[in-house]
Amino acid sequence: MPVPKAELHLHIEGTLEPELAFALAARNGVTLPYADTAALREAYSFSDLQSFLDLYYNLMAVLRTAEDFTELADAYLERAAAQGVRHAEIFFDPQAHTARGVPIGTVIEGLGASLDRSEERYGISTRLILCFLRDESAESALATLEAAKPYLRRITGVGLDSAEVGHPPAKFREVYEEAARLGLRRVAHAGEEGPAAYVREALDVLGVERIDHGLRCMEDPELVDRLARERIPLTVCPFSNVRLRVIDTLADHPLPAMMAAGLLVTVNSDDPAYFGGYVGDNFDGVRDALDLDPEQLRELARNSFLASFLEDDEPRRAR
């Protein structure tokens, strides 16, 4: 029996497995530039975050109808349940779909139809987090939040993802202020490829309650002390860090050092269809590569629930 856990850093578009991508392509009349699923999988060799994002956005062309998004989420939840996930806080990237002419309502209602039956079908409670693409403009982020307003009952929080370097958190001050006014929880990717200063800025300017990745905080001991003192969760994604060359090998992962520094770290899968495994696989991977003992694994599982937005409808950190 896999240990019960929550997954807090999971891009639903990053769960699009090659088999489903080809099935949706056939159904929607989309031609993919790969002969078959094996050829597509062969393209999953990344040199950095951007090289992954290029493929990730291109493959989304197969997602067109609400049913496509429902099937995508169903497939993730079924796999997650098999790996012990009991609660999932799921990111989605609306701008990557609206830019292709898919209305935001199609995306949210499609995902929502799956999430509505998730507890009953898979024993997984869920939350949905709308992410802004940080390599798009601040105006585009504001327009996206505006377009999401009719669907806010389905949305727990906002996040910030895509190409990090050159797109500091402060660019999105206004949209995060509006999100706070709307009662939405706030998280942001920071310190994945970008510097520790982006982690500080996400906390101080955007008022985020959790940092996604956050690895590079380790370069700034004062920041580490602050994150530990304020119990700011970091949603770490070990397989992702290796595949996107943030670190060389799993054995080099700073996870044990982060835990030893008193940080509230969680283990997550990020984009499991692309990075070689789902969240349980990430747990097994770090256990084996880093010699984690059972108590450390229990701490990681416990942290995942502590860091979640479950049973806590009020934002933890007032601005």
Helix boundaries (H) for 29-186: 37-42, 49-59, 66-82, 94-98, 104-116, 118-122, 138-148, 173-181
192 a catalytic residue: yes
Q: Are strands 233-236 and 85-92 parallel, antiparallel or unpaired?
A: unpaired
| Least separation in angstroms between CB 96 and ligand ADE | 9
Write down the residue that tokens 């079908």 correspond to.
121
- The least CB distance from residue 35 to Zn ion, in Å, is 29
| Segment 59 to 78, residues that bind Zn ion, using CB under 5 A | none
| Nearest CB to ligand ADE, comparing residues 186 and 189 | 189
Binding site annotation covers 271?
Answer: yes
Place of tokens 């899968």: 269
Answer yes or no: is 9 a known binding residue: yes
For residues 226 to 265, the per-residue mask of contacts with Zn ion, x marking binding by CB under 5 A and - elsewhere, is ----------------------------------------
- Is the sign of the CA dihedral 76, 80, 81, 86 positive or negative? negative
For residue 126, which of 8, 234, 214, 209 has the smallest C-alpha distance? 8
Residue 4, classed as helix, strand or coil, is coil
Tell whether residue 87 is among the known ligand binding residues: no
Which single residue brings its beta carbon nearest to ligand ADE? Answer: 161
Q: By CB under 5 A, tell whether 93 contacts Zn ion.
A: no
Nearer to ligand ADE, 138 or 297 (CB): 138
Look at residues 3, 38, 4, 10 and name the one whose alpha carbon lies nearest to residue 278: 10
Residue 124 binds which of Zn ion, ligand ADE, none (CB < 5-8 A, kind-dependent): none
Phi, psi of 11, rounded to the nearest 5 degrees: -90, 120
With CA atoms as reference, report the closest residue to 296 among 248, 269, 257.
257
Among Zn ion, ligand ADE, none, the one that 253 touches (CB under a kind-dependent 5 to 8 A) is: none
Give the CB-nearest residue to Zn ion. 270
- 270 binding Zn ion? (CB under 5 A): yes
Residue 270 counted as an annotated binding residue: yes
- Residues of the shown chain interacting with ligand ADE in the complex, contacts defined by CB under 6 A: 11, 14, 49, 161-162, 189, 192, 240, 270-271
- Nearest alpha-carbon partner for 143 in 110, 99, 106: 99
- Catalytic entry in 192, 193, 201, 209: 192
Catalytic residue positions, numbered:
192
Binding residues for substrate: 271
Kindly list the residues in this chain that would bind Zn ion in the complex (CB under 5 A). Answer: 270
